[in-house]
Structure 1
């Protein structure tokens, strides 16, 4: 989900290597690059620590969900020192758009089961006075990189990028987002969480969770977190995730079938 470049992927590899060492759980880092579907990854019975978007997590029955481990707390201001994130509405740097223009432009979206790339921008548009007038949308663009490329190609005028993904790009790949500017930021939502397969033993779950929640108290762990723009991992607030389907239904009503 956040393997945005080889450099950033290397930082995640370092985190998961540290996690394996400090939890005592043998973790193998595997590649699962787009367009491979994330749903296939989330279904693996050997899943040890994998990011999962809160919206698909919330739509599963409690008995079918992967086991929640921890959710990140970003160092960015929008993180509010809590395990929440948002989406940035971005446009080309040379495109003179304001929030008042956003109901009359071409929107891009990533995948329909994404909170950050689909529901968050739709919720933003629904809050506009004339949000129902948005009719031209382009998708699926799969991930933040697809949104960046579509804006660069002129296929879309605006799109939503997970604010944490944008933070990572600002830190490590600034050239990738140099052609973009942030027009607006959406309402916060619970951060994508790290999950493990239900088939893992309670001892494995506890070991992984304990290491993640304590990472900010370990000198090496804290250094790795900082390299990823994170302050810490926190225990996920499951009740907050369970509000996401109701938010999505309210968006559907507000937009009247648009998108």
Structure 2
């Protein structure tokens, strides 16, 4: 049997890696008890998550929701949506948002003041870094171009660092990532201020390959439910901000598409 792979790379700050390893080890034990074959012992941290999403051997991962609705070539099935309990998230449902952050001492007061400045995005297909950023700006953009320039940084943390260093003026960072940075890198976030908050959106879904069987998906959902209820993992869930899961399929990501369509109707189809 071809070895399967697993990843929790979307929220895997160095301070969280041990936690993710323990969560995965618990999932492994449950899956094997349920008869799932080929379950990997460890998480794959060698490959970029974008590559893992396209691997047909992906047993378990977490993906950004925007590529799932915008890229027809991405063959993944949604297992569940996580519920996060972090500042800026709604702990009662599987939604989160982005905070638009800027340097604390830049003198600007409102989002409109950032017209003709420099924006940073982690990836053009990021929901929280681009799509929610665009959705927040669309009602005030007035034209199809809002910023003087937009730089792609490769990660939310890199966008935060770019703003803090003065290499960009504003960025949209998802609330789970920003809460993690506030907790583990307070000297970095202390340089920033929150200018605005985006509309709410579904959280980053847990996913599996399109060829994963119905039986294995059921086992994965069962394992996630068990992990969320395991009191021995309470501290680990707290480190990740995890409060629960909601079983879901790709239809649960429809609000992401609606935000894109709303921005287009406002005459702001691209973040620029």
Same structural fold, with TM-score higher than 0.5 when normalized by the shorter chain = yes
The residue number in structure 1 matching 2:21 is 13
| 1:258–1:113 CA distance, 2 compared to 1 (3 A) | closer
Q: Is the CA contact (8 Å cut-off) linking 2:87 and 2:179 kept in structure 1?
A: no
| 1:78–1:236 CA distance, 2 compared to 1 (3 A) | farther
Q: Is the CA contact (8 Å cut-off) linking 1:8 and 1:172 kept in structure 2?
A: no
The residue number in structure 2 matching 1:92 is 103
Deviation of 1:258 (Å): 5.7
The whole-number CA distance in structure 2 between the counterparts of 1:117 and 1:13 is: 26
Q: Is the CA contact (8 Å cut-off) linking 2:94 and 2:202 kept in structure 1?
A: yes
The whole-number CA distance in structure 1 between the counterparts of 2:103 and 2:187 is: 13
The residue number in structure 2 matching 1:211 is 223
- Map of 1:73-92 to 2, 5 A cutoff? 73-76=83-86, 78-80=88-90, 81-92=92-103
The residue number in structure 2 matching 1:126 is 138
Q: Which runs of 4+ in 1 moved over 4 A?
A: 129-133
| 1:32–1:114 CA distance, 2 compared to 1 (3 A) | farther
How many pairs align? 255
**1:141-187 CA deviation, whole Å, 9 max, x = no partner?**
11111212211331211111111111122233323322222111100
- Structure 1 residue 139 corresponds to structure 2 residue 151: yes
- Residue number among 43, 62, 81 corresponding to 1:71 in the alignment: 81
- Structure 1 residue 51 corresponds to structure 2 residue 51: no
Structure 1 portions without partners, runs of 5+: none
Q: Larger deviation: 230-239 or 152-161?
A: 230-239
The residue number in structure 2 matching 1:255 is 268
The residue number in structure 1 matching 2:243 is 231
Structure 2 portions without partners, runs of 5+: 1-8
The whole-number CA distance in structure 1 between the counterparts of 2:154 and 2:202 is: 20
Q: What's the secondary structure of 1:111's corresponding residue?
A: coil
Q: What's the secondary structure of 2:80's corresponding residue?
A: strand
| 1:220–1:109 CA distance, 2 compared to 1 (3 A) | same
Deviation of 1:204 (Å): 2.0
Q: What's the secondary structure of 2:196's corresponding residue?
A: strand
- Structure 1 residue 23 corresponds to structure 2 residue 31: yes
Q: Is the CA contact (8 Å cut-off) linking 1:86 and 1:162 kept in structure 2?
A: yes
The whole-number CA distance in structure 2 between the counterparts of 1:179 and 1:258 is: 25
Q: What's the secondary structure of 1:20's corresponding residue?
A: helix
Q: What TM-score, normalized by structure 1, do the two folds share?
A: 0.87
Q: What TM-score, normalized by structure 2, do the two folds share?
A: 0.84
| 1:194–1:121 CA distance, 2 compared to 1 (3 A) | same
Deviation of 1:30 (Å): 0.8
The residue number in structure 2 matching 1:170 is 182
